[in-house]
Chain A
Amino acid sequence: MLVHRRTKRGKLAITLVATAALAINVLPAHAINLHKVDGVSQSTITLGITSPLTGAAAPGYNKVPYAMQAYFNYVNDNGGVNGRKIKLIIKDDAYNPVLAKSVTNDLVLQSKVLALVGTLGTAENEATTRFVNDHGVPRLFVNTGYSGFANATKYPTTYTLLPSYVMEAKIMGQYIKDNFAGKSVAIIYQDDDFGADALKGFAIAGTKFVTKIAYPSGSQADPTVVGKWIGGLMAAKPDVTIMFGVSSATAAALGGSYKAGFKTQWILGSVGGDGTTIATVAGPTAVGLLYGAIGASFLPAPTDTTDPYIAQFQAINTKYNPGVVFDNNVLVGMNSAMLTVEALRAAGPTLTRASLLKAIAKSGSTFASAGFAPLGYSATSHVGYNGYWFGTYGPTGAIKPIGGTYSLYTTDSGTGAVVKATSTRPAMPLKGLPNN
């Protein structure tokens, strides 16, 4: 076969250049690790977080990392942790596990973070589990209610914070039993693991439904789907309707039933019950639809300035996170950041990944935080909060505890009983600066 010489060279050249390109992309990595401990130097502690800053899941959740950063900056301005300042590296994962994995690689292998804090999403955390386990990277206070992450054998470096969806549903079931005995109950839920966990919890609680409406995640954007929900509800005429979905689904359900003139006592799951998030996804007028609905939370209401934690966090937000409305997302961020600071303090001046994990196992259950439910951390348990209180929404979308006081129910993710909690919350450290 006749082969043109120049051409042959050309082919070879392109291949060589291409190989070089790939090699360059792969090359300058051999960074020698000068400091002994990843993420800790004389003056700095480096932490990382992955969260959706763009895409459909971003509204609301994109406030969490910056609220954490604001709290860390407040602590830094007040002396830091054992003389070290905290640096939080924030990475966008667009609620996509592929992106979550590559930015987590960057955080751990390139930025050499000590720990991951507040990483959001079930699949996003699942995608990085193997890598995080292999490298022994602490993954603290993950922002997901999937009960699986509390399994300390499978996720040895992961600590959960939010009560699981199973707990929430069990507690909701008990609340209905206590307050709406004999009334007919319906549920609208997301047709995936989120919803499956909820149904599991309601089954344990013995809640019976006159109708169960499942919807695929995302289909709430379709008005005909929402029309079917409302049609289904109007046919079943439930006294009480549980909405166990994300904020956009809550807004769609409340809006649809208002338009149709359908009346029921709404009970909203904590995931889809944040007033400002609903305002972001469905417009400010949607907030009014919340009026009269019952909601559940484990943190104090973000509008309750009589609560010392809220008052302190609001002050920090005004100064260190200017222009951002203080809502449940900001509260969750600051609260997780406070717990992180307590964990770092508990690990002592010789801070390593191992000492950090050990410190939480040892004293994590005594950390002060805004949550009313106790933290379940121990050598064998990685379960965070385990309880909820119930409140009603006012006309501005703010939630207030029923009867004026936060009365808490606690339980577990298994078949354990739901009980009215008696524990008291640790007092807030002076000026919100941990002193453990």
Chain B
Amino acid sequence: MRSRHLSPRTRALLFLVIGAVLLTVSGFIGELRTYQGAQVAVYMIAIASIILLTGYSGQISLGHGAVMAVGGYGAALSFNLWHFPFAIALLFGVLVGAFGGFVLGVAAARLSGPYLAGTTLALAVGLPTIADQFHVLGGEQGLNFDIGDPPRWVVRLEGGDFTQYKWFFWISIVVALVALWGITNLLHSSYGRNWRAGRNNAVAAGLAGINVARGKVLAFTVSSALASLAGALFALLLGLVTPTAFPLSLSFAIVTGAVLAGVGNLAGSIVGGVVLVAIPELSGSLTTHLGNSQKVSANLPGLVMSSSLILVVLFMPNGLRIRKFKKQVKTQ
């Protein structure tokens, strides 16, 4: 697909620079924007999980919202029940999600197209309601996930005005950059090449000695790990996990974000994340200007999201690309 690479060292440097810039920027922006920035980072990870799965390994999932829920519940549960430190709780959420993804991936490797879409869709519908069934998961009301105030050293470093949202922003940005850096490296390794080969022509890849089925299971596992990482951060931002926080529409939203980003383009996850946060925001302020009527405020966000999706699919089928000279990804 593409032969161009940054050297791993340059790539690492690039991510470090972006991180440094963003953390500095956080000092100059308001609380609202820091929260939105954190949301963008979380959506970026979620969208990257879809891009990896669909764009690189050629599988589809309409159920990644449910995988996010697994990550969120895993993190919150281990944090509350076993008092894991926050970072370990996050990792625990990722591990649980990855395991779930592995199990699902084994089934998914046998399915493709609409059958896979249907199976994962069922997951998105069913899984969050399971939380209602178990007392330990807190039922409809969910579990609290309050990591408390930012640590003292951060507050001292930054001065007294260090809000909780800014702390969320820092965590989300750092985690997102580390995750995306890891995924970029993975996609540039033999694993990434094998996934693409299997996606483009499974028979040819098999003849070349690539175990396509194993590759698919691995891709599903890694993608689920990413999605559950996003879910755990999602829960962090929310301060709690509930079944209603992971509705079917979340699964669709991240797939929409991935389509807008261009499913074969990992860097596009940034665009996708920004769009997912910006659209409700824009339509919200538009609604206020249009007179706050019930019909408008109830329907405008959906209208804007759907019409931009249709427009992108019609006119920019490879997503809102920034680079013109990049060859379009050919998917079979």
Contact with B along A261-295 (1 / 0, CB 8 A): 00000000000000000000000000000000000
Residues B239 and A130 in contact, CB atoms below 8 Å apart: yes
Indicate whether B278 reaches chain A with its CB closer than 8 angstroms: yes
A105 to B34: give the CA distance in the assembly, Å: 11
Contact with A along B104-146 (1 / 0, CB 8 A): 0000000000000000000000000100110000011110101
Residues B278 and A25 in contact, CB atoms below 8 Å apart: yes
A326 to B66: give the CA distance in the assembly, Å: 39
- Closest CB of chain B to A367's CB: distance in Å? 27
Apart from A98-B238, A130-B146, A217-B132, what are 18 other A-B pairs with CB-CB below 8 Å? Answer: A11-B6, A14-B267, A14-B323, A21-B274, A22-B274, A25-B36, A25-B40, A29-B32, A69-B292, A92-B298, A96-B245, A99-B280, A101-B237, A109-B31, A123-B244, A129-B239, A192-B132, A216-B129
Indicate whether A3 reaches chain B with its CB closer than 8 angstroms: yes
Indicate whether A181 reaches chain B with its CB closer than 8 angstroms: no
Q: From DSSP, what is the main secondary structure of chain A's interface residues?
A: helix
Residues A22 and B37 in contact, CB atoms below 8 Å apart: yes
| Chain B residues whose CB sits within 8 angstroms of the CB of A11 once the complex forms | 4, 6, 14
Residues A127 and B239 in contact, CB atoms below 8 Å apart: yes
| Chain B residues whose CB sits within 8 angstroms of the CB of A6 once the complex forms | 325
Residues A22 and B40 in contact, CB atoms below 8 Å apart: yes
Known: A25-B37, A30-B29, A106-B281. A97 touches B240 (CB 8 A): yes
| Closest B residue to A215 using CB positions | B132
Known: A13-B322, A109-B30. A96 touches B244 (CB 8 A): yes
| Chain A residues whose CB sits within 8 angstroms of the CB of B245 once the complex forms | 96-98, 123, 127
A266 to B143: give the CA distance in the assembly, Å: 34
Interface size on A, residues (CB 8 A): 66
List 21 interface pairs A-B (beta carbons < 8 Å), by A numbering.
A8-B6, A14-B267, A19-B18, A21-B271, A21-B274, A27-B25, A27-B29, A53-B298, A96-B244, A97-B142, A98-B234, A102-B39, A105-B35, A106-B281, A109-B32, A111-B288, A126-B240, A127-B242, A127-B245, A193-B139, A193-B140
Residues A192 and B164 in contact, CB atoms below 8 Å apart: no
Contact with A along B265-289 (1 / 0, CB 8 A): 0010011011001101100100010
A218 to B131: give the CA distance in the assembly, Å: 13
Contact of B274 among A25, A146, A193 (CB under 8 A): A25
Indicate whether B7 reaches chain A with its CB closer than 8 angstroms: yes
Residues B21 and A19 in contact, CB atoms below 8 Å apart: yes
| Closest A residue to B30 using CB positions | A29
Indicate whether B28 reaches chain A with its CB closer than 8 angstroms: yes
| Chain A residues whose CB sits within 8 angstroms of the CB of B325 once the complex forms | 6, 10
A105 to B39: give the CA distance in the assembly, Å: 12
Residues A102 and B35 in contact, CB atoms below 8 Å apart: yes
Binding site for A on B (CB under 8 A): 4-7, 10, 14, 18, 21-22, 25-26, 28-37, 39-40, 129, 132-133, 139-142, 144, 146, 163-165, 234, 237-240, 242, 244-245, 247, 249-250, 267, 270-271, 273-274, 277-278, 280-281, 284, 288, 292, 294, 297-299, 301-302, 322-323, 325-326
Indicate whether A415 reaches chain B with its CB closer than 8 angstroms: no
A15 to B247: give the CA distance in the assembly, Å: 32
Residues A106 and B284 in contact, CB atoms below 8 Å apart: yes
| Closest B residue to A53 using CB positions | B298
| Chain B residues whose CB sits within 8 angstroms of the CB of A27 once the complex forms | 25, 29, 33
A123 to B274: give the CA distance in the assembly, Å: 26
Q: From DSSP, what is the main secondary structure of chain B's interface residues?
A: helix
Indicate whether A235 reaches chain B with its CB closer than 8 angstroms: no
| Closest A residue to B265 using CB positions | A14
Q: Which of B7, B22, B163, B242 has the most CB of A within 10 A?
A: B242
Residues B239 and A66 in contact, CB atoms below 8 Å apart: no
A131 to B132: give the CA distance in the assembly, Å: 26
- Closest CB of chain A to B154's CB: distance in Å? 16
Residues B33 and A122 in contact, CB atoms below 8 Å apart: no
Residues A62 and B22 in contact, CB atoms below 8 Å apart: no
| Chain A residues whose CB sits within 8 angstroms of the CB of B4 once the complex forms | 3-4, 7, 10-11
- Closest CB of chain B to A141's CB: distance in Å? 20
Indicate whether A194 reaches chain B with its CB closer than 8 angstroms: yes
| Closest A residue to B28 using CB positions | A30
Residues B322 and A192 in contact, CB atoms below 8 Å apart: no
| Chain B residues whose CB sits within 8 angstroms of the CB of A66 once the complex forms | 294
- Closest CB of chain B to A142's CB: distance in Å? 14
A13 to B139: give the CA distance in the assembly, Å: 47
Contact of B238 among A8, A18, A97 (CB under 8 A): A97
Residues B30 and A90 in contact, CB atoms below 8 Å apart: no
| Chain A residues whose CB sits within 8 angstroms of the CB of B28 once the complex forms | 30
Q: Which of A342-370 contact B (CB under 8 A)?
A: none
Residues B129 and A218 in contact, CB atoms below 8 Å apart: yes
Residues A192 and B141 in contact, CB atoms below 8 Å apart: yes
A123 to B144: give the CA distance in the assembly, Å: 10
| Closest A residue to B173 using CB positions | A22
| Chain A residues whose CB sits within 8 angstroms of the CB of B10 once the complex forms | 3, 8
Residues A193 and B297 in contact, CB atoms below 8 Å apart: no
A190 to B234: give the CA distance in the assembly, Å: 27
| Chain A residues whose CB sits within 8 angstroms of the CB of B238 once the complex forms | 97-98, 101, 127
Contact with B along A105-125 (1 / 0, CB 8 A): 110011100000000001100
| Chain B residues whose CB sits within 8 angstroms of the CB of A102 once the complex forms | 35-36, 39, 280
A123 to B138: give the CA distance in the assembly, Å: 11
Known: A19-B21, A97-B242, A192-B139. A62 touches B294 (CB 8 A): yes
Q: Which of A1-41 contact B (CB under 8 A)?
A: 1, 3-4, 6-8, 10-15, 17-19, 21-23, 25-27, 29-31
- Closest CB of chain B to A16's CB: distance in Å? 9
| Chain B residues whose CB sits within 8 angstroms of the CB of A53 once the complex forms | 294, 297-298
- Closest CB of chain B to A154's CB: distance in Å? 11
Residues A89 and B132 in contact, CB atoms below 8 Å apart: no
Residues B36 and A217 in contact, CB atoms below 8 Å apart: no
| Closest A residue to B144 using CB positions | A126
A31 to B29: give the CA distance in the assembly, Å: 9
Residues B244 and A97 in contact, CB atoms below 8 Å apart: yes
| Chain A residues whose CB sits within 8 angstroms of the CB of B39 once the complex forms | 102
Indicate whether A196 reaches chain B with its CB closer than 8 angstroms: yes
| Chain A residues whose CB sits within 8 angstroms of the CB of B22 once the complex forms | 19, 22-23
| Chain A residues whose CB sits within 8 angstroms of the CB of B140 once the complex forms | 122-123, 190, 192-194, 217
| Chain A residues whose CB sits within 8 angstroms of the CB of B37 once the complex forms | 22, 25-26
